[in-house]
Amino acid sequence: MKNISCYVCKKEKLTKNEIGLTKKLIDKNAKRFYCIKCLAEYLEVDLEFLLDKIEEFKDEGCELF
Ligand SMILES: [Zn+2]
């Protein structure tokens, strides 16, 4: 797996979930990725909301998660 880091805080080795969320919520072809914390700030939502989303996408059988 590629070592992708957060565009904002430079945290390295983003998880599959973080990468998947960026793709799902920002852009399928995103070139900048966000860790879950920075993504929450960027989208102005709670961390909880994003964690729920991950579960939702998993339940849908999304191949990004
Ligand atoms: Zn970050």
Quote the domain boundaries for residue 1. Answer: 1-65
pTM, entire model: 0.89
CB atoms within 5 A of ion ligand 1 belong to 6, 8-9, 11, 35, 38
Q: Ligand 1 center to residue 39 CA distance, Å?
A: 7
Residues 13-55 have pLDDT tens digits of: 999 999 999 999 999 999 999 999 999 999 999 999 999 999 9
Predicted local confidence at residue 62, as pLDDT: 86
Burial of 29 (0-12, 13-18, 19+ CB in 10 A): exposed
Number of domains present in the structure of the chain: 1
Q: Ligand 1 center to residue 61 CA distance, Å?
A: 26
The widest CA-to-CA distance across the chain, in whole angstroms, is: 30
Q: Ligand 1 center to residue 17 CA distance, Å?
A: 13
